[in-house]
Structure formats: C-alpha cells, structure tokens
C-alpha cells in the first residue's frame, strides 16, 4: 500500500512539475505599477521620499515584515493561515537576548536555540492542526496568546533585555561596502538570467509552451535596471544594508524550494485542491507539518532581526499588527488568500507597498491611525482583485 501511494505521488509530481505555479502569475506587474504610483505620489508630496537615506531606512523598516511575509506566502499557498508569527518572533528574540546575557553562551548557540524554539513551536501547532483537526486560524490564534504570555515570562519584570553582542547588533546596523554591493548586484542579475534560461530550455525540451523570447529579455532588462539602480542609490548613502542581502538570500532559497522541489509542488497542489492532492498520493498532513515548522523558523529569524535593530528584546517585540501586516504584505504582493497561487517574491513586493505607504505617510506627519487605515484599504483592494480574478478563471474553465 505504501509503495502504491509513493508511486502515485511520484506520478502526480511528474504531471505538475512543469506547470506550477498555476495559473501564470501576472499580478506582479500590477503590484509593481501600483508601487511606482505610490513612490511618485509621495515623492511629489515630500522631496525626501526617494532620497538615498530614506530608501535605506525603508529597507531597514521592511526587513522584519518582509522576512515574516516570506513564510506567510508559503502558508497561504497551502490554503492555511498563521496568526502567531509575531508572538513566535517575540519569544524567540527574548530567549536569544536572555541567553546572550550569560557570558559562557556563545553567539552561535544562542542563535541556534532561538531558531530551534521557532521550529518546536511550529511543530506543536501543526500537531493540533493535522492530528486534532483544529483549524489553523484557531490553533495559531491560541498560539498567539500562549506565546505572548511565554514571552512576558522570559523577559521578566524589567520588560526589556539589552543585547551587547556585536555580531547580533551588526545584523541590522551594518552596510555592504559599495564595491561589494556592485559585485553582488551583478551576480544577482546573472543568476536570474541563468535561471530563466534554464527553465526556458527545460520547457522547450519537454515540448511545452514558453513565453516569447522578447518578453523574457524585457523582464531581464527591467530586473537589471531596478537592481543596479537601487544599488546606485543605496551606495550614495552608506551602501546596501546587510539585512537586505539576508532577506534576498532567504527569498532565493525559498523560491528554489517552492519551484524546484517536490515539496514545493505538493504545497501548491494541496492549496489548489486538498482532496485531489490526497487522492493523488501526496502526504497532506506531513506537508502541512513541514510548512508550519518552516514559517515558525522564519518568524524566529524575523525576531532576531528585530532584536538586532532595537539592540534589545522587549515585551513589545513582535506585538501590535506585525502578523496582520505580514498577511497583508503577502496578499497585496499577489499571493492568493484562497490558496494554490503565489510566489515567494510576492512577499517583497507586498512588504515594499506596505512599508512605502507607512513610510510616506510618516514623512508627511500622518499618525499611525491613518497608516493603518491606508494599509487596510489596500489589503481590501488586493483581496477583491484576487477574488475577481479567480471568478474569471473559473468562468473561463466552465466555458471551455
């Protein structure tokens, strides 16, 4: 029986391997267009918005949001949700800070334990979802309350634990030297071009349709212009923040996992149709466990980055609307709230939109209330567009 299920899963994997993500993601162009409009409007209202210094600050401001949104994209593609990511970030950062107050604890061990705690939390919550049948919304909402309480216990009565470790503090406060920044930017462009060429050749060899060559060339040119342009702007200030390199590395790794591995293809298949995926032999419960462990580890990493920015861990770290903004960033970037559709880079696009709106309104002296209202309205618009798109796709399918 086990052999038969494995054979069915392998056969299903071969059938969907060259077609995922399905359908072709075109929402990214709309998000980019919207982001350009946001930048132009705020630049007209405040000439400092597109200054090198403010762009550098914007990257630092969205580092934590973008990191956690990467994990949220994966969960949403699966067709689930996680409301506990902010609390996981807070408790992981708190444990990191407390461990670093002990002079005998090396930095690498404190980091490992912080990330391991995130993995353990994800495993615990996934058991409730897969084995007890509790919806992920309820499980992670309960987790939000539980881990916030644990965070308060770990932090103690002072409410804050300072971090003096030089390596941890440097994560979000140091910059790439200009020459190194140019080298990394060029390497990144070449890697993107190589991946596009590889995927194009693979589809051609498999007899599958491919996008027009001119379209691929145009997209590569646009990517190169944006990458080199951003590098030039950041080098006019202090250079690209190292945390940006860390975030982009996370995006690349998870993009490869989601697009080039059986695990990633199974996540898309489950999010698209859970019952069909189960009948095809895909291990739905096992994949769900892995996804929630992954997002919890990524949330823990986000907590480390936030602690590095603040040079401390406090009872407020990871609180507020962080998890809601992470969901908003993923959906605004183009990930479907209904599962089965999205790409990892949607997290960066969405985080840039959310961060740009909040940053721009802050420069204009608008209060946090107005920033939250604007973010909420953008989220509603993104979900509405996604819903309309799904209905149109379903109508086309029915018509054919």
| Residue 243: pLDDT over 70 | yes
3-state secondary structure 41-77: HHHHHCCCCCCHHHHHHHHHHHHHHHHHHHHHHHHHH
Report the alpha-carbon distance of residue 152 to residue 374 in Å, rounded.
31
First to last CA, the chain: 37
Give residue-wise pLDDT tens across range 161-195.
999 999 999 999 999 999 999 999 999 899 888 88
Report the alpha-carbon distance of residue 10 to residue 73 in Å, rounded.
25
Global pTM value: 0.87
Mean pLDDT across the stretch 96-111? Answer: 91
Report the alpha-carbon distance of residue 230 to residue 352 in Å, rounded.
13
Spell out the domains of the chain, with CATH numbers in brackets.
2-174+263-399 (1.10.3470), 175-240 (no CATH)
Q: Is 377 exposed, middle or buried (0-12, 13-18, 19+ CB in 10 A)?
A: exposed
Say which residue, 263 or 394, is predicted with more confidence: 263
Angstrom distances, CA of residue 379 to CA of 42, 331, 333, 374, 382: 19, 7, 10, 9, 5
Tokens of 224: 């190169």
| Residue 397: pLDDT over 80 | no
Angstrom distances, CA of residue 338 to CA of 200, 302, 389, 390: 29, 25, 12, 9
Give residue-wise pLDDT tens across range 114-135.
999 999 999 999 999 999 989 9
Tokens of 178: 């200009």
The pLDDT of residue 3: 52
Per DSSP, the three-state class of 1 is coil
Per DSSP, the three-state class of 23 is coil
The pLDDT of residue 19: 41
The pLDDT of residue 156: 83
Please check whether residue 231 is in contact with residue 181, taking contact to mean a CB–CB distance below 8 angstroms.
yes
Nearest residue to 385 (alpha-carbon basis) of 79, 28, 68, 21: 28
The pLDDT of residue 399: 54
Give residue-wise pLDDT tens across range 282-332.
899 999 999 999 999 999 999 999 999 999 999 888 887 888 889 989 988
DSSP string, 99-163: HHTSTTS-HHHHHHHHHHHHHHHHHHHHHHHHTS---HHHHHHHHHHHHHHHHHHHH-TTSEEE-
Tokens of 307: 């602690």
The pLDDT of residue 26: 53
Q: Is 47 exposed, middle or buried (0-12, 13-18, 19+ CB in 10 A)?
A: exposed
The pLDDT of residue 15: 47
Nearest residue to 69 (alpha-carbon basis) of 342, 273, 397: 342
Report the alpha-carbon distance of residue 35 to residue 25 in Å, rounded.
17
Residue 256's CB is within 10 A of a number of other CB atoms, namely 13
Report the alpha-carbon distance of residue 233 to residue 240 in Å, rounded.
9
Q: Which residues of 212-224 are buried (b: 16+ CB within 10 A; e: fewer)?
A: eeeebeeeeeeeb
| Residue 76: pLDDT over 80 | yes
* Pairing of the two strands 312-314 and 160-162: antiparallel
């Amino acid at each position: 029986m086990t052999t038969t299920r494995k054979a069915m899963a392998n056969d299903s994997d071969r059938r969907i391997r060259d077609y995922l993500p399905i359908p072709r993601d075109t929402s990214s162009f709309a998000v980019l267009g919207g982001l350009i409009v946001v930048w132009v409007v705020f630049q007209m209202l405040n000439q400092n918005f597109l200054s090198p210094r403010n762009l550098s600050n914007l990257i630092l401001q969205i580092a934590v949001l973008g990191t956690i949104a990467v994990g949220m994209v994966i969960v949403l593609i699966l067709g689930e949700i996680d409301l506990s990511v902010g609390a996981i970030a807070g408790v992981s950062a708190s444990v990191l800070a407390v461990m670093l107050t002990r002079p005998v604890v090396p930095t690498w061990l404190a980091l490992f334990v912080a990330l391991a705690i995130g993995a353990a939390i994800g495993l615990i919550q996934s058991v409730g979802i897969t084995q007890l049948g509790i919806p992920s919304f309820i499980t992670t909402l309960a987790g939000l309350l539980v881990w916030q309480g644990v965070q308060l216990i770990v932090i103690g009565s002072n409410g804050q634990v300072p971090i003096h470790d030089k390596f941890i503090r440097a994560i979000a406060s140091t910059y790439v030297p200009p020459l190194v920044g140019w080298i990394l930017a060029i390497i990144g462009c070449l890697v993107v071009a190589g991946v596009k060429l590889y995927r194009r050749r693979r589809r051609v060899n498999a007899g599958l349709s491919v996008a027009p060559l001119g379209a691929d060339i145009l997209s590569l040119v646009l990517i190169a212009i944006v990458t080199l342009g951003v590098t030039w702007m950041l080098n006019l200030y202090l250079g690209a923040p190292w945390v940006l390199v860390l975030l982009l590395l996370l995006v690349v790794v998870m993009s490869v996992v989601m697009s080039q591995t059986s695990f990633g293809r199974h996540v898309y298949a489950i999010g698209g149709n859970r019952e069909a995926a189960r009948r095809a032999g895909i291990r739905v419960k096992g994949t769900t466990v892995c996804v929630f462990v992954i997002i919890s580890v990524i949330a823990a990493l986000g907590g480390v980055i936030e602690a590095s920015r603040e040079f401390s861990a406090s009872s407020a770290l990871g609180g507020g609307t962080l998890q809601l903004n992470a969901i908003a960033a993923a959906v605004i970037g183009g990930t479907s709230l209904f599962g089965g559709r999205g790409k990892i880079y949607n997290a960066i696009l969405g985080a840039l939109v959310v961060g740009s709106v909040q940053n721009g309104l802050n420069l204009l002296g608008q209060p946090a209330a107005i920033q939250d209202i604007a973010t909420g309205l953008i989220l509603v618009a993104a979900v509405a567009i996604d819903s309309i798109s799904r209905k149109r796709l379903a109508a086309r399918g029915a018509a054919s």
